[in-house]
Structure 1
Amino acid sequence: MNQRLLAKIKESLASVAPITALVLLLHFTVAPLGTGTLALFAVGAVMLVLGMGLFTLGADVAMMPMGERVGATLTKSRSLPLLICVGFVMGTVITLAEPDLQVLARQVPAVPDRVLIWTVAVGVGLFLVAALLRIVFQKRLSYVLLALYAVVFGLAIFSNGDFLAVAFDSGGVTTGPITVPFIMALGIGVAAVRGGASAEDDSFGLVALCSVGPILAVLALGMFYDSSSGSYAPTPLPAVENLGEALKLFGQELPHYAREVGVALLPIVGFFILFQVIKLRLPKTQMIKMCVGIVYTYVGLVLFLTGVNVGFMPAGSELGGLIASLDARWLLIPIGMVIGFFIVTAEPAVHVLNKQVEEITGGTITRRAMLLTLSIGVAVSIGLAMMRVLTGIGIWYCIVPGYLIALGLTFFVPRIFTAVAFDSGGVASGPMTATFLLPFAMGACEALGGNVLTDAFGIVAMVAMTPLIAIQILGVIYVCKAKRNPAPEHREEEPEIIELQTGGTTNDTD
């Protein structure tokens, strides 16, 4: 275990080092940060390295196996009502405890925090059920996504413009590092037991559908709440002058994030313990191993979230303001794109997704190809977001063409690329986006005198959108290569298909 932990920390160091080096380069050239901000950033970077290493090991040892076993057990029970009830309760309860959702709720002044949080949580619960049923009935993901996004854009036409960016942002923040490993593994477990020719393709797609629920929920809220009833109030940045004060601030904030992560992990662990007592009955040695993995996950997330919130958020906000104040303010676009390219490698859930994709596809889609494609996609999204900050162009003009392209590509690529692409959108827009890129855009917007709610918000939505296109373009490249170098034909035995008690067949003649 110690060797695996050391390897994970080395991987996380390689992931965090590029963005750290880039911020330092900007500090020594065009955007000199304050001494206190730089100290916070340095300590935060160290916490990111340790936190990501512990988290990714914990996800491998505990979170992914837990999700797969719960999903497999639900499917083997052959009880559709049980699957629906458990899926809804799990999706709702886990989302209620998602730390990034609490942050988003505080930024929407027109809607009471509790109302927004509960509405979004119920939306995720309903769509987790829909995602599980899609696997059970083997419905093609692209058709489901087309129908859902038609509803999304239909609602967007009648929704208040101030809620549009926040709505699409909410789809990204609710699929954070706490929920993604478990939800992904849940789908893999259900698809593996359900069987069928499309089991590999159906292993992905849960995160994609769970990201739609919050968008619909906030758009619906926008019809009933007046956005002019409140005003945006920026979060005050900490007043830190030196390294000693920075360390003291981290010490003060650490217990807060320890509580948040504990509350967020508790429902997942509780559900698993319940399944262990009633159904699983795993051997003692395996349970001890999973308990160690849960501890790794907990400690890793506490360190990671404390590092990004306390250390990276002030740096992002100050950098955005400084660059926007330059005479050559257009530098926001290329600098933002470079930051976006490197920052996605520091998203912990991205590494979990890439590992699962490589394993499920047998190496057809490698981790390296996934990471490079995601980095390019996020770079483009930050470039578009910075263009919006500079020009005030409405998010509608970016989101609609982007999703039309993404949905159109679903008919030209293998199904697994569509599922992975729409999952990757939710995964890429994680805590690094919410705590560094969003403050970066907000700092730039405030320096330029723009409207933060309409011009800066929406950056999470942009980060969640471009991977949908980038990964499917990777699928187009894969198809072209396959046509040039066709693989030898071979036949495989069809796995047994598990049918749940639904009163009818579960096969889809798609």
Structure 2
Amino acid sequence: MKNSLLKLREKLTEALNSVLPIIGIVMILCFTIAPISSSILLCFLMGAAMIVVGTMFFTLGAEISMTPMGERLGTAITRSKKLSIIVILGFVLGFIITISEPDLQVLAEQVPSIPNRTLILSVALGVGVFLVIALLRMLFSIALPHMLIVFYILAFVLTLFVPQSFLAVAFDSGGVTTGPMTVPFIMAFGIGISAIRNDRHASDDSFGLVALCSIGPILAVLILGMIYRPNESAYIPPVLPEISNSVELWELFRVGLPTYIREIAVSLFPIILFFGIFQIAVLKLSKRNLRKIIVGLVYTYIGLVLFLTGANVGFMPAGNYLGQVIASLDYNWIIVLIGMLIGFFIVKAEPAVYVLNKQVEEITDGAIPARAMSISLSIGVAVSIGIAMLRVLTGISILWFIIPGYAIALGLSFFVPKIFTAIAFDSGGVASGPMTATFLLPFAQGACTSVGGNIVTDAFGVVAMVAMTPLITIQILGMIYQMQQRSAPKDQVFSEPALDFDQLDDDAIIEL
């Protein structure tokens, strides 16, 4: 009990450090150049409090439930050594996790003209197919950069045959698919699969699943754009709250809470069912381990419900209104600088970023510290939000940034260690999570409304930009790391210990 309280306190401190800078920036804007009503401000603060508590519970829950579940499933599926079973179960797992992803639900609700179910099913099919491709890459030890080049070239070729209204949404869908539900599970799944390999590249190949799973939705939505011709539908901005007292403030969140209680229950159920079947048929974990996972799932559930309620009810209206106010100023160019400042700090509040940074630090035995990852991600996201705001003001096509950006990222992949390429392309999907979808995307939409731009082509694409720039900054971190390794004494160079995983049982592998 005491240990749990200490863990919760540690996670609360991390959550406060992540969210307080965003609160500070918004408060300064509200009291200076972007005045907003007391109703919106109170909703924002209430939402921020729920996000802090939700992040605390989620990060602890993911650590003690989602990660062990993913690792054990990955190990069990791969040990079957039957390619047909790996392909079928990989596809089913990718499909149900994507259906479960709250970020995708948020994006689908904001996209006009495409029915929610049509978009969600298309994206889920894309992830299912590409999770299978990612698993086969790991099993046959295929180089990640070559696969990334082939699939991204295919995506850019498809953009020539797709209406402009689908382009930004397609690249956005690749970012939101890898959110707080998907990332802990898929990354742990990859670690579990690589654990039964005893070659020296196993740890490198444990990353890269998120990277490939981010391409699937892009291709799926682009193909959808080629065969589906939706009716035009007007963009509906989020409703700005009007409250006069604290009771009405609570009522606003109380009304929204049941929606996310149901949504997260539906999201978690397929994953729990999938794991439960494996537990009965294959895993047969001890009662102690099973009890720990169940407690972690409860924490995860509570955390995601609070987080998404706070983000959707409190953050989304505030982001939209702030974007409108700042973009309507005579010196609206300042929104580029403000967007960069918000982007630098907001990525720290993404729940899945914590999971990525922690797993990178652990699997590299501290050679790639979480702090270095965090700073690199923040710089990348700051640049991406600055570019996104520039697009809102000017209406420049997203392809003018996406194509050169991915060309640079793919080019760097041939000059940095393999593990950095995999981590970089994973981090792009991880950085573009619920905070981006519920605050930065509405922020861009509000700004686009003020300047009279096209919401679908100009405002959408924020998530895509956030998913792209970390690919470059993390690989630059890899080049710096490589230069330091070359100049370091030989006895200080990081190397993976050679372990014979075939001689270990599942619990021993997980502990390692």
Task: Tell me the TM-score normalized by structure 1.
Answer: 0.95
Per the TM alignment, residue 491 of structure 1 is displaced from its structure 2 partner at its CA by: 8.6
Gaps of 5+ in 1: 499-510
Equivalent residue for 1:125? 128
Distance in 1, Cα, partners of 2:278 & 2:496: 33
- Residues 102-136 of structure 1: CA deviation (Å, up to 9, x unaligned): 23223333333222221111111010111111110
Which AA in structure 2 matches 1:448?
V
Equivalent residue for 2:101? 98
Equivalent residue for 2:13? 10
Per the TM alignment, residue 315 of structure 1 is displaced from its structure 2 partner at its CA by: 0.9
1:163 touches 1:227 (CA, 8 Å); kept in 2?
A: no
Q: 2:296 aligns with which of 293, 296, 316?
A: 293
Distance in 2, Cα, partners of 1:33 & 1:141: 47
Equivalent residue for 1:239? 242
Q: Are residue 342 (structure 1) and residue 345 (structure 2) matched? A: yes
Greater alpha carbon shift after TM alignment, 299-308 vs 109-118: 109-118
SS, match of residue 490 in structure 2? coil
- Residues 456-504 of structure 1: CA deviation (Å, up to 9, x unaligned): 1000000000000010010111112122224337997754587xxxxxx
Distance in 1, Cα, partners of 2:484 & 2:160: 40
- Residues 251-277 of structure 1: CA deviation (Å, up to 9, x unaligned): 111111011111111111111111111
Distance in 1, Cα, partners of 2:393 & 2:279: 54
Equivalent residue for 1:508? none
In structure 2, do the counterparts of structure 1 residues 388 and 242 end up closer, same or farther at CA, with 3 Å as the change threshold? Answer: farther
Q: Are residue 229 (structure 1) and residue 232 (structure 2) matched? A: yes
Greater alpha carbon shift after TM alignment, 377-386 vs 268-277: 268-277
Equivalent residues in 2 for 1:423-502, closer than 5 Å: 423-488=426-491, 494-496=498-500
Question: How many residues matched?
Answer: 498
Per the TM alignment, residue 374 of structure 1 is displaced from its structure 2 partner at its CA by: 0.3
SS, match of residue 407 in structure 1? helix
1:75 touches 1:194 (CA, 8 Å); kept in 2?
A: no
In structure 2, do the counterparts of structure 1 residues 340 and 147 end up closer, same or farther at CA, with 3 Å as the change threshold? Answer: same
Equivalent residue for 1:49? 52
Distance in 1, Cα, partners of 2:495 & 2:322: 56
1:160 touches 1:227 (CA, 8 Å); kept in 2?
A: no
Q: 1:197 aligns with which of 196, 200, 214?
A: 200
Q: Are residue 278 (structure 1) and residue 287 (structure 2) matched? A: no
Distance in 1, Cα, partners of 2:315 & 2:110: 18
Equivalent residues in 2 for 1:21-100, closer than 5 Å: 21-100=24-103
Task: Tell me the TM-score normalized by structure 2.
Answer: 0.95
Equivalent residue for 1:257? 260
- Residues 281-332 of structure 1: CA deviation (Å, up to 9, x unaligned): 1111111111111100100110011111111111111111111111110100
Gaps of 5+ in 2: 503-512
Which AA in structure 1 matches 2:420?
F
Which AA in structure 1 matches 2:208?
G
Equivalent residue for 1:314? 317
Q: Are residue 152 (structure 1) and residue 142 (structure 2) matched? A: no
Which AA in structure 2 matches 1:193?
I
Distance in 1, Cα, partners of 2:47 & 2:350: 14
Distance in 1, Cα, partners of 2:352 & 2:258: 23
Equivalent residue for 1:502? none
Distance in 1, Cα, partners of 2:133 & 2:241: 42
Distance in 2, Cα, partners of 1:383 & 1:390: 11
Per the TM alignment, residue 393 of structure 1 is displaced from its structure 2 partner at its CA by: 0.7
- Residues 118-155 of structure 1: CA deviation (Å, up to 9, x unaligned): 11111110101111111100111111101110111110
Per the TM alignment, residue 225 of structure 1 is displaced from its structure 2 partner at its CA by: 2.8
Equivalent residue for 2:173? 170
2:239 touches 2:317 (CA, 8 Å); kept in 1?
A: no
Distance in 1, Cα, partners of 2:77 & 2:410: 31
- Residues 81-118 of structure 1: CA deviation (Å, up to 9, x unaligned): 11111110111112123222223223333333222221
In structure 2, do the counterparts of structure 1 residues 39 and 492 end up closer, same or farther at CA, with 3 Å as the change threshold? Answer: closer
2:364 touches 2:496 (CA, 8 Å); kept in 1?
A: no
Greater alpha carbon shift after TM alignment, 463-472 vs 485-494: 485-494
Distance in 1, Cα, partners of 2:17 & 2:327: 29
SS, match of residue 329 in structure 1? coil
SS, match of residue 229 in structure 1? coil
- The sequence identity of aligned pairs, in percent, is 60
Equivalent residues in 2 for 1:406-417, closer than 5 Å: 406-417=409-420
Equivalent residue for 2:145? 142
